[in-house]
Amino acid sequence: MVMSKELAESRSAVKTNSLTVIQAINNGLNVMLGKDKHTLILGEDVGKNGGVFRATDGLQEKFGENRVVDTPLSEAGFVGAAVGMAFNGLRPIVEIQFLGFIYPAFEQIATHVTRTRTRTLGHYNLQMVIRAPYGSGVRSPEIHSDSVEAFFAHMPGIKVVCPSNAYDAKGLLIAAIEDPDPVLFLEPMRLYRGKREDVPEAKYSVELGKGKLVEQGDDVTVLAWGAMMPVALTATEQMRQHGITCDVIDLRTLYPLDKDIISESVQKTGRVVIVHEGHETGGVGSEIISIINNTSFLYLRAPMERVTGFDVPVPLFALENDYLPTPERVSQAIRKVVNF
């Protein structure tokens, strides 16, 4: 990965801490509330309770009840209020408790969050972030496990971001907060308390709209993001032992997609496997296929494969690991494109 000068410096000179994804998010919020008095956090149970996952732990104590606001149980209410705040110069960071509970606010997002800049010809921009834990695999109750990034990637006017590790989580979150346009920031619940990483203590950002090549290979391009990254990497590690090597790309931003990193890799390997946990039909994978069709069609050596969640409501947790893509399914797809 090419690091910006600032980033490289922050990595070598500045103090780092070993953090989990959830701690890195907490840290990113902490840094931004400290830097910019126009930012504030809104959501259910974010204040005294520090969030149901503790993403905002300690922040109300530090910044006060005006900056970290426990709202009524009203997603349309507080997302709508955030729109009004953003009209009026604030930079709200909204927490939706689980992505599956964003639906009451769908109206606000589809008709206002995403359209305000356009319908005021740029007079008003909404500098706001909507954070939401998403995904299956942690034995949550019904509706808590949805992975519906595609709804939002489809909506013109909002960027969609999804980190897969602690370093990116903090850097992308800060970039999202500083972005002049609305950003939906999806947090993989399944990775919240997984692997720790060295995360710089200071402010840094990871550019939106840029994927990252996390593993290099020659035979297949494997594209994933969020909670599917470890699944993809387990599969490619298994394949390596069979002599098949893969480029593994963490897309990190789902709208706008990093078409250059995708096409560069595909033009090298000629084979593609896309892994996502959202439903297959109309998933972000379809859009990636379309990009490859436009940029790299003549380089393809096999039909592209998708390994995704199924076209069914996410099942209760006894079957969640059957719903979710597994390393076995990913390996199969890799074999299929190689053996075509």
**302 binds another protein, rule: CB under 8 A:** no
The one among 35, 139, 195, 242 contacting another protein by CB under 8 A: 139
Min CB(126)–ligand TPP separation in Å = 22
**310 binds ligand TPP, rule: CB under 6 A:** no
Q: CA 202, 208, 216: angle at the middle one, nearest 5? A: 95
The one among 9, 45, 201, 264 contacting another protein by CB under 8 A: 45
Q: What token pair was written down for 306?
A: 């998708």
276 in active site: no
Catalytic residue among 38, 112, 123, 144: 144
**6 binds another protein, rule: CB under 8 A:** no
Interface segment toward ligand TPP; rule CB under 6 A; list 97-105, 226-234, 236-244, 327-335: 97-105
The one among 91, 112, 131, 144 contacting another protein by CB under 8 A: 144
CA distance linking residue 325 with residue 322, whole number of Å: 7
- What SS3 class is residue 209? coil
CA distance linking residue 96 with residue 130, whole number of Å: 7
**127 binds ligand TPP, rule: CB under 6 A:** no
- Single-letter residue type at 14: V
Residue at shortest CB range from ligand TPP: 101
**Residue 50 interface partner, choices another protein, ligand TPP, none, CB cut-off 5-8 Å depending on type:** another protein
In contact, 95 and 54? CB cutoff 8 Å: no
Give phi and psi for 94, each to the nearest 5.
Answer: -100, 135
**303 binds another protein, rule: CB under 8 A:** no
**44 binds ligand TPP, rule: CB under 6 A:** yes
Question: What percent of the chain is helix, strand and coil (3-state, nearest 5)?
Answer: 40, 20, 40
- What SS3 class is residue 177? helix
Min CB(162)–another protein separation in Å = 22
CA distance linking residue 252 with residue 172, whole number of Å: 8
Helix (H) or strand (E) holding 91: strand 91-95
DSSP β-ladder status, 197-200 and 16-19? antiparallel
CA distance linking residue 146 with residue 143, whole number of Å: 6
The one among 7, 90, 104, 302 contacting another protein by CB under 8 A: 104
**145 binds ligand TPP, rule: CB under 6 A:** no
Of residues 116 and 136, the one with the C-beta less far from another protein = 136
Who's near 92: CB < 8 A, 6+ residues apart? 39, 40, 41, 42, 81, 82, 85, 86, 128, 129
The catalytic residues are: 144
Q: Which residues bind ligand TPP (CB under 6 A)?
A: 44, 73, 75, 97, 101, 104
List residues near another protein by CB under 8 A: 44-45, 47-50, 52, 70, 72-77, 100-101, 103-104, 139-144, 280-281, 310-313, 315-323, 326, 328-329, 332
